[in-house]
Amino acid sequence: MLDAARLRADFPLLRQREHGHPLVYLDNAATTQKPEAVLTAIADYYRTTNANVHRGAYGLAIRATEAYEAARAKLAGFVNAWATEGVVFTRGTTEAINLVAGAYGRAHVRAGDTVVVTAMDHHSNLVPWQILCQEKGATLRMVEISEDGRVDLSDYGRALERRPKIVAFPYVSNALGTVNPAAQLARLAHAVGAVVVVDGAQSTPHLRVDVQALDCDFYALSGHKMLGPMGSGALVAKPELLDAMPPYHGGGEMISRVWDDHSTYNKIPHKFEAGTPNVEGAVGLAAAVAYLEGVGPERIAEHEQALAAAAIDRLTQIEGVTVYGPRDHRAGVVSFTYGDIHPHDIATILDQDGICIRAGHHCAQPLMRRLNVPATARASFYLYNGLDEVDALAGALVKAGALFGYVPA
Ligand code: 7TS
């Protein structure tokens, strides 16, 4: 396992105390904390380099542009993008998926076509496809999940018989922690001629991701879930698909020539980056990538899996606790319920001990309906969490249970 205590020292916020207790931050699937290296990179950018990018004729603006484009190259290398110009900076996964639905989807999906999603998709990999299908008169086909929270491969096969235009799925589920066999799902979808969209919000921070090995077509990620700034993220795509796509947003920066009644467009990726971009976000995200590379994605995955296994082991020993999702091929997300205690009550009680967990539907309402629960409590781990924090979680849960008359096993 990683030396979590040593890594934690790199994160100023984690030194805080909450209600008199050391802060135990277990809501990393929602967003992660930021290391000093990222905070410094952002501050340094503003102290030394800030100017608007791609349009300056002076040295400062050229250096700002170089910093922004170097960040793109850094991120491209991290996920083994097809090409640096195949990385479009966005506000995060949500905007990246809306870009694909709004530009590629609107150009290619017609009445009677099918788009496939899964029952474990986050709303941001579902609602954009609902909007597209409603607009086009296309069918949205949702693939069911198995009892233990995996994509049901036989239902996936049945969905592919419809020869969908687009197949979208999460690499890692934010609500169950399931790691989907993304390369296999992509291969099967390609075999019927579909374009594959992978929601990488929960995989990029936690696994070694190689989009070319996955062989998807579009891959969406969020910077703030991988130690980077809020409002940073990207769409990583095959350049030839981006080249052939109509623009998404219109405005400055994305054009080549503008006449009174029409325009020609800039080359990729700029065609999809209308307006002044979030340069601070890109620079901070590049610093986050450098930090993650320093630790090593494989070691991060291993560490989180060990924490999740320990948490599942501890939690399932508490009478009345149900843990959802698979027991193997999973990431560091542990969703659970405790008897009839409302998950929001669990989160509120744990907060008194300085423990931050999430409670709710996790933006996955179709999944919650299939689990037959309105909500779950969710602990999600990252590289700075340790086994001491799993102990704190289990201990606080037992205390919470006692308040509701549950006797610990
Ligand atoms: N896809 C998945 C699988 C996610 O977990 C999230 C955010 C998103 C997409 C959207 O990412 P955004 O950065 O564009 O907002 N998930 C969560 C969560 O689990 N709790 O809060 C946000």
What is the domain partition of the chain in residue ranges?
Answer: 4-30+297-403, 38-293
Q: Which residue has the tokens 């608007």?
A: 52
Read off the tokens for 198: 């992978």
| Atom 11 of ligand 1, nearest CA residue | 93
Cα–Cα distance for residue pair 381/67, rounded to 1 Å: 31
Does ligand 1 come within 6 angstroms of the Cβ of 93? yes
What is the rounded distance in angstroms from the CA atom of residue 189 to the CA atom of residue 48? 47
- Residue whose pair of structure tokens reads 């998404």 in the numeric block: 248
Which residue among 31, 173, 203, 225 is best mutated to probe the pocket of ligand 1, counting the most ligand atoms within 8 A of its Cβ? Answer: 225
> Does the Cβ of 174 fall within 6 Å of ligand 1?
yes
Are 17 and 354 spatial neighbours (Cβ–Cβ below 8 Å)?
Answer: yes
Question: How many CA atoms within 13 Å lie on the side-chain side of 236?
Answer: 31
The distance in angstroms from the start CA to the end CA of the chain is: 28
Q: How confident is the model at residue 55 (pLDDT cuts 50, 70, 90)?
A: confident
pLDDT in tens, 79-111: 999 999 999 999 999 999 999 999 999 999 999
Q: Which of 124, 126, 169 to mutate to test the pocket of ligand 1 (most atoms within 8 A of CB)?
A: 124
Instruction: Answer whether residue 45 shows pLDDT above 60.
Output: yes
Cβ 98 under 6 angstroms from ligand 1? no
Q: How far is the CA of 144 from the centre of ligand 1 (A)?
A: 20
Pick the CATH number of 4-30+297-403 from 3.40.50.1370, 3.30.420.40, 3.40.50.2300, 3.90.1150.10: 3.90.1150.10
pLDDT at 409 over 80: no
Beta-strand runs (E) in 82-217: 87-90, 114-118, 139-143, 166-170, 195-199
269 cis-preceded (ω within 30 degrees of 0): yes
Ligand 1 within 6 A of CB of 92: yes
Q: pLDDT at position 109, please?
A: 98
Beta strands per DSSP E along 107-184: 114-118, 139-143, 166-170
Is the beta carbon of 29 within 6 A of some atom in ligand 1?
Answer: yes
User: What 8-state DSSP symbol labels residue 354?
Assistant: T
Are the CB atoms for 166 and 193 separated by under 8 Å?
no
pLDDT at 407 over 90: no
Task: Provide, rounded to the nearest whole percent, the portion of the chain with pLDDT above 90.
Answer: 98
Contact yes or no for 13/208 (Cβ under 8 A)? no
- State the catalytic residue, choosing from 133, 216, 356, 363: 363
CA of 60 to the centre of ligand 1 (A): 35
Dist. CA 332 → ligand 1 center (Å) = 15
**What are φ and ψ of residue 177, in 5° steps?**
80, 0
For ligand 1, say whether the CB of 122 is within 6 Å of any of its atoms.
yes
CA of 338 to the centre of ligand 1 (A): 24
- Kindly report the average pLDDT of the chain as a whole number: 97
3-class state of residue 56 by DSSP:
coil
User: Mapping DSSP to helix (H, G, I), strand (E, B) and coil, where does residue 120 land?
Assistant: coil
pLDDT of 224 reads 98
* 363 catalytic per annotation: yes
Sheet holding 333-338, edge to edge: 321-323, 333-338, 376-380, 358-360
- Cβ atoms of residues 162 and 114 within 8 Å: yes
Query: What is the rounded distance in angstroms from the CA atom of residue 280 to the CA atom of residue 89?
Result: 12
- Closest to 117 (Cα-Cα) out of 375, 373, 366: 366
Q: Which residue has the tokens 């967003």?
A: 31
Whether 4-30+297-403 shares its CATH topology with 38-293 is answered no
For the domain made up of 38-293, the CATH class stated in words is: alpha beta
What's the mean pLDDT in 287-292?
98
Q: Work out the number of other CB atoms within 10 angstroms of the CB of residue 387.
A: 14
362 lines ligand 1 (CB under 6 A): yes
